[in-house]
């Protein structure tokens, strides 16, 4: 299956019993890869870049925890398949991770629209992030959610440059109340570039 056709199907789902037997090993084996798909931007924002493997595990975890059986599968696939990159893009879960609840409430009220303020820069060319097709993540009083999903679509030339270990790759949030930039390491670029295959 090519990246352009990549999605989880009901045939890919393990039974509750089989997953429960292998759960510890499956979760442990994905940890190193998930670490190389994680980028912190500033003190509170972390991008977790998703792919087939991370979404498959998420679906299996939801089925394992909620125990909804066969009837739950379709809903989980509908929720998580859109977060699997399709060969010309990267898709990230953007988490605003603020432990203190009082501070979290205050900061989230200052960050409405943060999901519209993300971008990659590759060799001086900007790739703006766009929110995925989920409902609005900001409440009427201006408080944003602590979880967003952002999509970055790349041209063929930029995909090639992204995979070049000598390219300068930055990930930025340019929000009036949260302006931060992270340099993306060649190791992370190499891992994320597998989503373009």
Confidence of residue 138 (pLDDT cuts 50, 70, 90): confident
Distances (CA, A) of 129 to 43, 44, 189: 20, 18, 17
Dig out the tokens for 36 from the structure.
Answer: 């190389």
* Token pair for 144: 């944003």
Condensed to tens digits (0 to 9), the pLDDT of residues 148-167 reads 999 999 999 999 999 999 99
- 83/55 Cα distance (integer angstroms): 7
> 2 pLDDT exceeds 60?
no
Phi/psi of residue 3, each to 5°?
A: -60, -35
Helical segments of 2-109, H only? 16-35, 52-66, 70-80, 101-108
**What predicted TM-score, i.e. pTM, was given to this entire model?**
0.90
| Cα–Cα distance measured from residue 49 to residue 84, given in angstroms and rounded to the nearest whole number | 9
CB 41 within 8 A of CB 182: yes
Question: Which residues, at least 6 apart from 37, have a Cβ–Cβ distance to it below 8 Å?
Answer: 48, 49, 50, 51, 54, 188, 191, 192
Q: Look at residue 136 in the predicted model and tell me its pLDDT.
A: 62
For the chain, give the percent of residues with pLDDT over 90.
85
CA 136 to chain centre: 17
């Amino acid at each position: 299956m090519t990246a352009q056709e990549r999605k989880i199907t009901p045939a890919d789902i393990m039974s509750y019993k089989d997953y429960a037997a292998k759960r510890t090993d499956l979760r442990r084996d994905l940890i190193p890869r998930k670490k190389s798909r994680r980028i912190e931007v500033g003190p509170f924002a972390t991008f977790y870049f998703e792919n087939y493997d991370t979404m498959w595990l998420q679906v299996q975890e939801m089925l394992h925890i909620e125990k909804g059986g066969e009837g739950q599968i379709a809903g989980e696939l509908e929720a998580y398949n859109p977060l699997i990159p399709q060969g010309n893009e990267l898709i990230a879960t953007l988490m605003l991770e603020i432990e203190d609840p009082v501070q979290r409430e205050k900061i989230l009220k200052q960050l409405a629209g943060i999901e519209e303020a993300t971008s990659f820069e590759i060799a001086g060319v900007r790739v703006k992030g766009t929110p995925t097709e989920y409902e609005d993540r900001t409440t009427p009083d201006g408080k944003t959610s602590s979880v967003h999903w952002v999509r970055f679509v790349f041209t063929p030339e930029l995909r090639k440059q992204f995979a070049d270990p000598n390219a300068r790759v930055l990930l930025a949030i340019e929000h009036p109340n949260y302006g931060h930039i992270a340099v993306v390491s060649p190791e992370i670029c190499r891992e994320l570039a597998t989503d373009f295959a």
